[in-house]
């Protein structure tokens, strides 16, 4: 017969349960608990079991879009599932970024992230998301340099001469960009920040207008992608003064880096991937490892570098730290240069 114990504090009688029954109940409890928990490991083993959508918050057809599509084709082969690109441009990448930030965190909606989003974290005041709070960095993809060019009518043949000219005539030289917060805009703002020059920003709606106007002389200064500018440089329609990377561009080996004149100047437009914050870590790790394996291949590295892009390889924590560093860097530049924030 079961013994009866008295809970003197509560005044409730309880029975001592036999050991065998206790073990059975414990086993049932473990099974019930396991059944109620998400099968994270199992999901990661099976992932992806259906097509994966990559949101590109840019228009289709640009260099960045081309590289991410190339990587998606390689992911198809490695993970045996369709990875497809969905372009969602608008509001300086914030529309597409918001879509992913609010998506189900199951690994089936990913974000093509870039340097632009780290700028926007400060530039846009009323975003309905916080980049590093609501999304998790997965892996970087590639980075490429810009080149600083001037119209041939500008009496400057190197970076030092351009800085001297801008200081002699403050507020008279204009630089174009594809819009506030774009890579082309922020590269010029970084130059202003490090040299103290006063040059005037002329934002365009996209890249076409700024390129037309640098050729015509409507604007005097432009930062643009190296591969895009090479034909104009070779034809003498613009003059290259410097590239923005830490080392000289293999496409323009005779053009010095801006850092050779302005210590501390380094800028690259980079691209990587993020996912909704609560995406299970095994899925995050699986995506990171697949992307990293592709980008580490010699054939990918050789092919991309020939086009001016350098594959980026980092651990997932390193990429997260890199992105946070970019957010912090641009917050300081935006504040120091008194750049008008966007509502």
The CATH architecture to which 46-143+269-336 belongs is: 3-Layer(aba) Sandwich (3.40)
10 has a pLDDT exceeding 80: no
pTM across the whole model: 0.83
User: Which tokens belong to 129?
Assistant: 């998301």
Q: What angle do the packed helices 281-295 and 63-79 form, to 10 degrees? A: 110
Spell 299-336 as b/e; 16+ CB within 10 A means b.
ebeeebeeebbbbbbbebeebbebbeebbebbeebbee
The string of pLDDT tens digits covering residues 155-209 is 999 999 999 999 999 999 999 999 999 999 999 999 999 999 999 999 998 889 9
Structure confidence at residue 237 (pLDDT): 98
Cβ pair 85, 72 in contact under 8 A: yes
**What is the Cα–Cα distance from 248 to 241, expressed in whole angstroms?**
12
Domain boundaries, the chain: 46-143+269-336, 146-260
Domain 46-143+269-336 and domain 146-260 have a common topology? yes
Which tens digits make up the pLDDT trace of 287-322?
999 999 999 999 999 999 888 899 999 999 999 999
The answer to whether 297 and 282 have CB atoms below 8 angstroms apart is: no
The closest of 115, 69, 123, 133 to 268, measured between CA atoms, is 115
Looking at every residue in the chain, the average pLDDT score rounds to 89
pLDDT at res. 201? 98
Closest to 141 (Cα-Cα) out of 8, 269, 321: 269
CATH fold of 146-260 reads D-Maltodextrin-Binding Protein; domain 2 (3.40.190)
pLDDT of 28: 45
**Residue 278: which of 94, 131, 96, 107 has the closest Cα?**
107
CB 310 within 8 A of CB 144: yes
């Amino acid at each position: 017969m079961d013994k009866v114990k008295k809970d003197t504090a509560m005044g409730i009688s309880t029975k001592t349960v036999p050991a065998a029954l206790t073990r059975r109940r414990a086993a049932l409890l473990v099974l019930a608990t396991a059944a109620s928990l998400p099968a994270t490991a199992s999901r990661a083993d099976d992932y992806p079991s259906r097509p994966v959508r990559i949101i590109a918050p840019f228009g289709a057809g640009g260099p960045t879009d081309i590289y991410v599509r190339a990587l998606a084709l390689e992911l198809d082969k490695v993970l045996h599932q369709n990875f497809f690109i969905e372009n969602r441009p608008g509001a300086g990448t914030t529309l597409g970024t918001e879509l992913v930030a609010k998506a189900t965190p199951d690994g089936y909606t990913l974000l093509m992230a870039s340097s632009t989003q780290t700028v926007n974290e400060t530039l846009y005041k009323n975003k309905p998301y916080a980049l590093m709070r609501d999304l998790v960095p997965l892996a970087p993809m590639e980075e490429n340099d810009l080149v600083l060019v001037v119209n041939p009518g500008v009496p400057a043949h190197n970076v030092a001469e351009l800085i001297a000219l801008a200081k002699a005539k403050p507020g008279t030289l204009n630089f174009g960009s594809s819009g506030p917060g774009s890579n082309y805009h922020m590269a010029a703002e970084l130059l202003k920040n490090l040299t103290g020059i006063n040059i005037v920003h002329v934002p365009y709606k996209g890249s076409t207008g700024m390129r037309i106007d640098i050729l015509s002389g409507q604007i005097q200064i432009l930062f643009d992608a190296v591969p895009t500018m090479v034909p104009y440089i070779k034809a003498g329609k613009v003059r290259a003064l410097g590239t923005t990377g830490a080392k000289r561009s293999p496409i323009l080996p005779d053009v010095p880096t801006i850092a050779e004149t302005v210590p501390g100047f380094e800028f690259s437009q980079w691209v990587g991937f993020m996912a909704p914050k609560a995406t299970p870590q095994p899925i995050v790790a699986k995506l990171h490892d697949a992307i990293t394996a592709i980008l580490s291949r010699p054939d990918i590295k050789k092919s991309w570098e020939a086009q001016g892009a350098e594959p980026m390889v980092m651990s997932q924590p390193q990429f997260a730290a890199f992105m946070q560093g970019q957010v912090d860097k641009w917050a300081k530049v935006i504040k120091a240069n008194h750049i008008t924030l966007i509502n």
